[in-house]
Structure formats: C-alpha cells, structure tokens
Amino acid sequence: MTTETFAAARIEADPTLPIIHITRDFDATVEQVMRAHTDPELFARWVGPASMVTKIDHWDARDGGSWRFASVRDDFEAWFRGCFHQVTDHRIVQTFTWEQEPDGVALETLVLEDLGDGRTRLRTSSLCDSFEARDAWLRSGMEVGVDEGYAKLDGLLADGAV
C-alpha cells in the first residue's frame, strides 16, 4: 500500500436542508478507518485540531451505546456527547451535541466505501435542527478540526498505528 496525501475534506452545505456533507478519501482499508472511529484510544489520537488534545470520558461504540469526550487546550475544554444508534462494519449513525449548546442535537451518518487498492472514501452527513444551527457550525471554523484531525489520522494510518 502506498501512502499519499489527500486533499482537504470536501465540506458542503445542502441548499435545501440543514445538512452538512463531508467527503474525504483515505489510503487505508474500510476496516482501518472504521477502527479509528470506534476505538476510543485511536479516536482520541486523531480527532480535532492539532492544537488540542482529546480526553475521553466514556466510549461505548455499539448499537445503543453512548460517548462523551472533551477537546482540551490549556485551561479551555469543549465537551461533546452523543449516542450511537447503529454501528456496523461500514456505517455509524449517532447523535452529536456540543454541551455548551445542549439543545442543538445533530444526527450524523458516516458511511465508508471501499474504493479498491486499500483505499476508502468516508462520507458523513450531519443533519442539524435548523439552518441557523448548521450555518453556525460552518462559521465556527469546523473545517480546521476536520482537516487537521484527518491529517493526524493519515499519519496514524501511514505509521501502522491503526
């Protein structure tokens, strides 16, 4: 398997629904990318901006399980939580809430597609409860966390950590 650097994730807002679509390719198998999303130790090593570390409170990646983690930088902590509704070998359906906005719950679906030759396409859709909430996410600088996090994941995959 050769290692190559992929372009930044494609982040798109649906014009007719309050959904954010993210697409990103990885030089890794579906199994590796899924493990990176379901194993709490691996997840904590790659998710979020490079300037922050992730602290897992709890993580139960199974149908009906739940999760909670913080992104931490110095004295700042941003806590997130949700429930896993479905976890299969190529798909995760979960809720996502930033605890500072506890009424804002997004429904997220992540699907992994085998591209062949040990490559995988990740597609995520995050359905927010309003256009205002979706647009606030887009204005938040979320692309930094998405792109830097996936770049860290590329590194873990290239190093054989996953």
Torsions phi, psi of 39, nearest 5? -85, 115
Confidence (pLDDT) at 117: 96
Tokens (6 digits) for 140: 């938040």
Span 88-100, mean pLDDT?
96
How far apart CA 24 and CA 27 sit, in angstroms, is 10
Confidence (pLDDT) at 7: 67
Span 106-128, mean pLDDT?
98
Torsions phi, psi of 5, nearest 5? -90, 125
* pLDDT per residue as tens digits for the range 25-78: 999 999 999 999 999 999 999 999 999 999 999 999 999 999 999 999 999 999
- Of the pLDDT bands very low, low, confident and very high (cuts 50, 70, 90), residue 105 is very high
* pLDDT per residue as tens digits for the range 119-154: 999 999 999 999 999 999 899 889 999 999 999 999
Question: Please, what sign has the CA dihedral across residues 129, 130, 134, 140?
Answer: negative
pTM of the full structure? 0.92
- Of the pLDDT bands very low, low, confident and very high (cuts 50, 70, 90), residue 23 is very high
